[in-house]
A and B are shown apart, each in its own frame.
Chain A
Amino acid sequence: MIISRFVAVLLALGILSGCSSMGVEPWERDVLAKEEMQLTTDAIEAATDDHIYFSKEASSGGRGFGGGGCGCN
């Protein structure tokens, strides 16, 4: 349990530092700016599914944050 948690945090940190070499220039975000490329495209549909599966299964959530998109401002 503790080990898997530790690995998860390490993975996250590793990704963060390794990530400094990955990515695109600010002007190459045209595709990422599209509505259909956002992590959550339909908020109500996502919330509906989360609620249904939470009510019928033992797991819940997991998803959730920002990032991606046009990278503007």
Chain B
Amino acid sequence: MKNTDKISITAALTAATCTLLGTTALQPVQAQEEPGWDFNTSLLYYAESDDRVQDLSLKTLSRRTFVDDRILSLGLTVDALTGATPNGALPQSFPQTFTKPSGKNTFTTPPGEFPIDDSFRDTRVAISADWEQPLGRLYAMNVGVSASAEYDYLHLGVNAKLSRDFNNRNTTLSGGFAFASDQLDPVGGVPDPLTQMRNVRDDDDGNGGRASNDSKEILDLVLGITQVMSRNFLMQFNYSYSDSSGYLNDPYKILTSVDPITGEAVPVPQIPGTEGPSHLNYYENRPDTRSKHSLYTQGKYYMNGKVLDASYRYMTDDWEIDSHTIDMRLRWPIGDDKYLEPHLRFYTQTAAEFYQISLVDDGQPLPEYASADYRLADFDAITAGLKFGWKTGGGNDMSVRLELYSQSGNVSPSQLIGSQADQDVYPDMDAIIFQYSYMFGK
């Protein structure tokens, strides 16, 4: 029996907008690594249908274990992103023209297609550093920092955790927090919420009166209990609270304003000699605070060499979004050094209170908050995947996994006006996830 307890517990591999605590795992108090370096590297390819987002990502996590279970983890992620995402406007039976975020020119969406925002995301770099160590025999702590940068977004964060074992180490109680301060520098500046999309500007006055950036702060708190249920069964229960405040809008997202009878986009007359949007659109607006509660439970069950990992998460927030996530993996060993791991995930969420597919051009004042961002809608998603892992001749771990992610919206018919009932109003999405990973070192 090979005795390498090479547990890849991570430091914060935090993305610009990730909840820090959601991506980290504290090493157990009784950590078990031999002094030395070990590395976890991976190459990820992510691609969505309909020429939407594509991402090629290289991730590395380097860990230096010092004497007596003290560990320094350094993470580096580099992403090359291309493609675009739906900008919130609805498809129409005629072409639509929009001003690009830069304000320098326009783009036109063919009839029947979801307008996608012309995003020029190119490279994103994220780094993290994390230190963990036992404190005495029964306590362990972890502190970390994270940062990421892309052309229009900067993230800085700190996090810390403490855990203590009880009941002969059968029970572990943990608590932690993460604080993030993010800044957005949108192309074209920060649009005034619920104002119309502007025409192309050829003057060189920068953002034309808009603020060039805005920021938000996120505080996350987690309380958890891990409990050994039996020799083959481990469970975890976490409660998380997250508080965001500041600029929570997506500066590139708009809503189409439609005719109250036909439900079609309202044309905007274009002054000769100017270029701009062909139809009426407004920039979205969301509240400037958001607070979320999550309850999460996970179980790992060993059955004669196979391991079942199942988890459930319930999330509710003050934007009236509720979600349920069920995630299941079964590790199926093949011989001594290979395994197959099928994976199934079900996700469902309800819409934010202010989610609507379009605004109505009926002379009434606009609502205080409105967004057509598909990520705030009522939708279901399913992921199905398979991972295959093996040990190399040198005793290192390699794996590949292929997953399919599929999202489909549930827009309530009461939201549909006129011809919208005959149209596709939610940009369903399918994506492929392919990841190759290599772990080596001590």
Contacts and interface: CB of A to CB of B under 8 A. Distances in A.
Would A and B touch once assembled, by the CB under 8 A criterion?
yes
Interface of A: 1, 4-5, 8-9, 11-12, 15-16, 19-20, 22-26, 28-48, 50-73
B18 A54 contact: yes
A3 B407 CA distance: 32
B176 interface: yes
Contacts of B408: none
A19 B170 contact: yes
Contact of B8 (A28, A34, A41, A59): A41
Contacts of A30: 231
Contacts of A44: 8, 10, 13, 40-42, 59, 61, 437
Contacts of A50: 15, 18-19, 22-23
Nearest to A5: B293
A58 B352 contact: yes
Interface centre among A45, A50, A66 (most CB of B within 10 A): A66
A16 B237 CA distance: 11
Contact of B30 (A37, A42, A73): A73
B396 to A, nearest CB: 13
B21 interface: yes
Contacts, number: 292
A44 to B, nearest CB: 5
The 6 closest A-B CB pairs, nearest first, are A61-B22, A67-B226, A23-B170, A43-B10, A67-B172, A62-B296
Nearest to A53: B347
Interface of B: 4-10, 13-15, 17-19, 21-32, 40-42, 44, 46, 57, 59, 61, 69, 134, 137, 140, 161, 163, 165-174, 176, 220, 222-232, 234, 236-240, 242, 292-296, 298, 300, 302, 307, 309, 311, 313, 315-319, 321, 323, 325, 331, 339, 347, 349, 352, 375-376, 381, 399, 401, 405, 407, 429, 431, 433, 435, 437
Contacts of B176: 64-65
Given A44-B42, A70-B32, 7 more contacts: A12-B237, A24-B170, A37-B234, A55-B17, A62-B311, A64-B25, A66-B140
Nearest to B22: A61
Nearest to B329: A41
A66 B23 contact: no
Contacts of B431: 56
Contacts of A25: 168
B225 A15 contact: yes
A42 B8 contact: yes
Nearest to A62: B296
